[in-house]
Amino acid sequence: MTEQKIFWGISKDLQAAVRYEPNACRGYVMDISLGCPNLCIYCIFSILEKTVYKFYDTRYKGEIIPLKLDKFLAEEKFPPFVYMCYASDPFGNRQITQSTVAVLDKLLSHDVFVGFVTKGIVDGEVLEVIRKKPNLVGVQVGITNTSDQRNKIVEPGAPSYKKRLENFKRLNEIDNLGFLTVRIDPMLPGIDDTPDNIEKIIHDASSLGAKEAVLGYVILTRDLKEQLKNNELTRASADALTEKTSTISRQELFSVPFAKKVEKLTEFEKICQKYGMKMAVCGCKEEEMKKTSFEWVCHPFNRQRREELAPKTEFHLETAHFG
């Protein structure tokens, strides 16, 4: 068994690398850029990565920087699965997408399962690479609201609702894809968690080929919560985040009271069932969810796979936190 290595954030030399990330369900992750073009106002991960990098380079002003790939492409040893991306979007813009294509091609050539979470556009050359080994690729498309007016404020750099939906149609045409999921997460209370909004997303995504949905509420640091209070649209949502949340990171993070979450998610699970969709929640972002009757995932793809592969690999694959 090789020694477990933890790399805190983006490396000083701005080289992309697969790293063990204890705050990402204690699994292996990879970022393609420092910073994320989606510019989501609720994102705690991109802010953290950029803050850490400023300790390396005090001249860094928070701009989005695509990472270098030469060291990664020279590697020949990888864990059995990689989550992309931890603090950015693998399809955030054209330059980042081109890097993701090269990374995906390399990982698939080593039979590594790659799980994507994206609000970006998955098309063209990306689809060509996925078709090489589709059973080793899973995609979660992030859509939390049908309103482009809301999305332009909350996720100003991300594509429109319609463009994100089109990902399902293209990906559903690929036989034997590992999974195709709509990720309705993170929901802002009072804005995203309305039955009409959730039903519209589930209806549209399922009609285009999505087979399951992962739902979850926003979790914010104290500072980010206060920032959202300065925005007229999100002020009431920020005020509703009154309870400290038990996450795998053990950070002080705030969210909707747990009992209220369970009540709302129970309602949304019935909507998913209406359209033949399986619903799950994130069990590491919200560890209390593991005690409910909801199906839960350990990051978007790897709970069952990690349990299967842990005895067969020299890489550290922790399963104890599955509970």
- Residues spanned by the domain of 245: 19-316
Residue 156 maps to a domain: yes
Pairing of strands 179-187, 81-84: unpaired
pLDDT score, position 92:
94
d(CA 163, CA 320): 39
Residue 9 maps to a domain: no
Residue 235 maps to a domain: yes
Q: State how many domains the chain has.
A: 1
pLDDT score, position 310:
63
pLDDT score, position 210:
95
Q: Which amino acid is at 194?
A: T
CA distances in angstroms from 77 to 24, 101, 234, 272, 305, listed in the order given: 21, 18, 44, 40, 19
Q: Which amino acid is at 92?
A: G
The whole-number mean pLDDT for each consecutive block of 10 residues of the chain, a chain of 323 residues, reads 48 90 77 94 85 85 93 94 91 96 98 94 97 96 97 97 98 95 96 98 97 94 93 96 79 91 97 95 80 72 61 63 48
Residue 149 maps to a domain: yes
Residue 6 maps to a domain: no
The strand pairing partners of 243, in sequence order, are 255
pLDDT score, position 15:
94
CATH number of the CATH domain containing 273: 3.20.20.70
Q: Which residues of 192-222 are buried (b: 16+ CB within 10 A; e: fewer)?
A: bbeeebbbbbbebbbebbbbbbbbbbbbbee
Q: What is the DSSP letter of 20?
A: E
Structure tokens at 309: 């592969």
pLDDT score, position 250:
67
Q: Which amino acid is at 63?
A: E
Pairing of strands 212-217, 65-66: unpaired
pLDDT score, position 2:
40
Pairing of strands 65-66, 137-142: unpaired
Residue 321 maps to a domain: no
Q: Which of 78, 135, 70, 134 is nearest to 110 (CA)?
A: 78
